[in-house]
Amino acid sequence: MALNREEALKALQTIKERIRRKESGWKYKIAVLSGKGGVGKSTIAVNLAAALAKKGYLVGILDADIHGPDVAKMMGIEKTDILAERTEDGRFEMLPPETDFSGKTAPLKVMTLGFMVDEDQPVIWRGPLVTKAIWQLLGDVKWGELDFMIIDFPPGTGDEILTVVQSINLDAAVIVTTPQEVALLDAGKAVNFMKKMEVPYITVVENMSYLICPYCGNEIDVFGKGGGRKLAEKEGVEFLGEIPIDLKAREASDAGIPIVLYEDTIAAKSFMGIAEKLVKKLEEMKAKEEAEAPSSSS
């Protein structure tokens, strides 16, 4: 069925309204972004989500990276048929699959574009289609009340990201970079993009900061070190922390278990530290906001 212009605009309006209603049930909305692909954006998004769920928070993670939607896989959730429920107003809402990693965390909900596309088929979606799909993952999924909604965006600063960011009130943007010059340059662009979007808390995480030698335990600076911190200082945003290259992180991720659940690893400690810092900052900001807000006459 083809919609005329008026009907199309109305459909757009209603999905945006649904997103607004849903996001009022999510306490903190966090975007994970990077200037370029392959820097560990999904790894950071998944481990941050798992770290927060490990602390008992209710977390939803939305994999909006159409170019490599592998969040569910990193969480050990295989592609399944998505169940849907009819809503009171006669629509259908998708039910997000969830996992608690065999009782190690609070239930963590996930929804991904990966469930909707064929794994072996390269996805050639144009911007507007990507935007629409992400809107549906926000507005047509029964997320319920959440403490944290974490969105793994496609890399870069493309139009589809812009459109999605405009339709949701983000509390924080976590920009992931490696210490390499090229990655830092692109991460700088992502930081400025988020500044333009007026996201209240913009922060940088440096991934693959150093390698822990599996034989001697010493730190090896593979890509150089400290670039993420320098970038944050230059841009006047906060540096949230660094994650080492951990061979176990890759193995764990391929096995569908976030490294943060292997408590004895340095990567796990780094992730917990980053999650705690983020929670503290967001709570401080929320408290300040509430103190400054004119008291509502209830």
Ligand X SMILES: Nc1ncnc2c1ncn2[C@@H]1O[C@H](COP(=O)(O)OP(=O)(O)O)[C@@H](O)[C@H]1O
Amino acid (one-letter) located at 42 = S
194's torsion region: left (phi>0), alpha (psi -120 to 50) or beta?
alpha
Q: What residues between 211 and 250 interact with Mg ion by CB under 5 A?
A: none
Q: Applying CB under 6 A, does 265 fall inside the site for ligand X?
A: no
Instruction: Please state the separation of Cα 254 from the chain's center in Å.
Output: 19
The runs of H, that is alpha helices, within the chain are 5-23, 41-54, 71-74, 127-139, 159-166, 181-196, 227-235, 247-254, 266-292
User: Considering the complex, what minimum distance in angstroms separates the CB of residue 71 from ligand X?
Assistant: 9
- C-alpha of 88 from chain center: 30
SS3 for 204? strand
Q: Does 42 sit near Mg ion (CB under 5 A)?
A: yes
Binding mask 62-101 for Mg ion (x = CB under 5 A): ---x--x---------------------------------
Is 253 near ligand X (CB under 6 A)?
A: yes
Total chain residues near ligand X (CB under 6 A)? 18
How far apart, in Å, are the Cα atoms of 98 and each of 42, 102, 231, 260? 17, 11, 36, 18
Tokens matching residue 186: 């692109």
Residue 278 touches which of Mg ion, ligand X, none (Cβ within 5-8 Å per kind) = none
Q: Does 178 bind ligand X (CB under 6 A)?
A: no
Which of these segments, 26-34, 60-68, 118-126, 165-173, binds Mg ion (CB under 5 A)? 60-68
Pick one of 3, 9, 38, 255: the residue that binds ligand X (CB under 6 A): 38
User: Is 112 one of the binding residues for Mg ion (CB under 5 A)?
Assistant: no
Please tell me the total number of residues recorded for the chain in this structure: 298
Interacting residues toward ligand X by CB under 6 A: 34, 37-43, 68, 207-208, 243, 245-246, 249-250, 253, 267
